Amino acid sequence: MAVVLVVDDNSFARKMMMRYVKSAGHEALPAVDGENALAVYEAEKSRIDCIITDLLMPNLDGLGLLRRLRECGAGVPKIVASADIQDAVKEDARALGALVFINKPFTSDQIEEALVTLLGAD
């Protein structure tokens, strides 16, 4: 079982993502934006195996979060889940460590497939 940090300012999307992560057999930790995600990561970094983040969020957006995680040396796999992932944004996110991109609205299968791709099968 992996521990996945789920970052999304939309409570419905965050709760659905967490439900899908849990149904895939993993633990999900919530964060409401990039700033909150950094605090959760700092407190739980020894346990966090993967991060799934939205891009458009207040306070600190997804690209800003990816940048800050790279600066602090966070080597965990990162997934971007967003409604509109343009090629230029995808390139920026990939340069900042994002490995998988999921378009919203996402399905349980997409989340599970992304987690298996990054973490392997349990």
Mean per-residue pLDDT, 70-80: 96
- Contact criterion met (CB below 8 Å) for 33 and 7: yes
**CATH code at position 31:** 3.40.50.2300
Per-residue pLDDT at 2? 97
> Domain of 92?
3-119
Per the structure, the count of domains in the chain is 1
Helix or strand (DSSP H, E) at 110: helix 108-119
**Binning pLDDT at 50, 70 and 90, where does residue 122 land?**
low
- Contact criterion met (CB below 8 Å) for 104 and 82: yes
Mean per-residue pLDDT, 7-21: 97
Cα 49 vs. chain centroid, distance in angstroms? 11
Task: Answer yes or no: pTM beyond 0.85.
Answer: yes
pLDDT 10s digits, 56-74: 999 999 999 999 999 999 9
31 phi/psi in degrees, rounded to 5: -145, 140
